[in-house]
Amino acid sequence: MTGLPSLARRRRTGLLVLLALLAVAAVAGVAVGTRFLDPLTVYRAVRDALTCPGGPFSCPAGSTEAEIVRGLRFPRTVLALFAGCALGVAGALVQGYTRNPLADAGLLGLNAGAAFLAALAVYLFAFTAPEQYIWFAFAGALLAGLAVFAASSAGGASPLTLVLAGAAMTAFLQAMTNAVVLLDATALDTYRFWVVGTVAGRDAEVFWQVVPFLLFGLVLAAAAAPGLNLLSLGDEVARGLGVHVTRNRALGFAAVVVLCGAATAAVGPISFLGLVVPHLARVFTGPDYRLLLPWSGLLGALVLLTADILGRVVARPGELQVGVMLAAVGAPFFVLLVRRRKLVSL
């Protein structure tokens, strides 16, 4: 029997292709830059670093190429994979809980909270290195998320109140951030570089600071997925099927806050990733969030890393930040997506 492949076959084929593309992108992420490194050199440098007698990355680099891989490109590539995965999953969760196909984590005030405390840390404590202000950015996203959920809960914690509370919080925090950066030139310079969104200049220290939170957030997201499937049928139906609506929404919102907060603190606010990636994933998974979340994570990792690689190529010997690349490509691409209604339906 001929015809279109079944959904299950499309999922299997798509997953194999996606994993292969991720592997290629990971190698390219370490190899491509101002100085191109061949894949064999990349393999040897990573292998030698992981098999150090005293533990991974404990022995000194044996060459300039190995130092480039270990000190710069390998941590940058791994951070891009984890941050992209986190933002893809967070975007799918936000769209599910708000029942809004045009929503992403920035709609809930998380990016604005991270930006405000990051700018405040630079202004008050003269922190200019990412590993210094990263905790303030994460705390800002966490506090903004808690404030939004508390305000939403006072009105019943419905999808509408979440969006309204998030919009109000975003406007307030953006105004406060503007006030801070206008007071201090150093805060303005640091904020201007961070707010674009980039994985450049992020070393292994930044990665190890955020990876526990990213892993914890992914566990929370997996726990929230079954209940989110039922919530998509409506709150009353979900209650009738035994779902504690407020508890599940709080669990999912906690996952969004942890994932988006950690990723945004590390690489800055990345536009369009959490918005576009879930729609691409639904082509293969349908509306089942038990499949949609992992697919969104894998696609998010691939899209962010690919955008970072393209940014190094198009402006050589310099580079364009990943946030610029995603905004430039993501905006017209999303316009094409929303023209196909079946891709934006939740």
Spatial neighbors of 214 by CB under 8 A, at least 6 apart, are: 82, 83, 85, 86, 258, 259, 262, 263
- For residue 343, pLDDT over 60 is answered with no
- What CA–CA distance (Å, rounded) separates 115 from 138? 9
CATH architecture label of 7-344: Orthogonal Bundle (1.10)
322 membership: H or E segment, kind and range: helix 322-338
Band (300; pLDDT cuts 50, 70, 90):
very high
| Tens-digit pLDDT profile for residues 185-237 | 777 777 787 888 888 888 888 888 999 999 999 999 999 998 888 888 777 88
Tens of pLDDT along 242-253? 888 878 888 998
For position 276, what pLDDT does the model report?
87
- Hunting for tokens 């006072």 — which residue is that? 154
Residues with Cβ within 8 Å of 95's Cβ and at least 6 positions away in sequence, in order, are 101, 103, 104, 278, 346
Instruction: Say if residue 22's pLDDT is above 80.
Output: yes
Does the pLDDT value for residue 1 go beyond 50?
no
Segment 144-168 shows an average pLDDT of 80
Q: Which residues contact 194 (CB under 8 A, 6 or more apart)?
A: 115, 118, 130, 133, 137, 268
**Residue whose token pair is 């200019």:** 128
pLDDT, residue 4, reads: 47
Q: Is the pLDDT of residue 3 over 60?
A: no
* Count of beta carbons in the 10 Å neighbourhood of residue 164: 15
Closest CA to 266 of 132, 144, 175, 119: 132
Say which amino acid occupies 121.
Answer: A
Q: Which pTM does this prediction carry?
A: 0.88
Question: What pLDDT is recorded for position 216?
Answer: 95
Average pLDDT of the chain to the nearest whole number: 84
C-alpha span between 314 and 312 (Å, rounded): 6
Q: pLDDT tens, 52-74? A: 877 777 677 778 888 888 888 89
Integer Cα distance of 59 and 24 in angstroms? 27
Q: What is the pLDDT of residues 10-20, one digit of tens each?
A: 788 888 999 99
Structure-model confidence comparison of residues 339 and 160, the more confident one = 160
Q: Which two tokens stand for residue 105?
A: 């984590």
Question: Taking 70 as the threshold, does the pLDDT of residue 337 lie above it?
Answer: no
**Closest alpha carbon to 267 in 214, 225, 226:** 214
Q: Which two tokens stand for residue 67?
A: 């130092």
The C-alpha atoms of residue 279 and residue 308 are separated, in whole angstroms, by 21
Q: How confident is the model at residue 297 (pLDDT cuts 50, 70, 90)?
A: very high
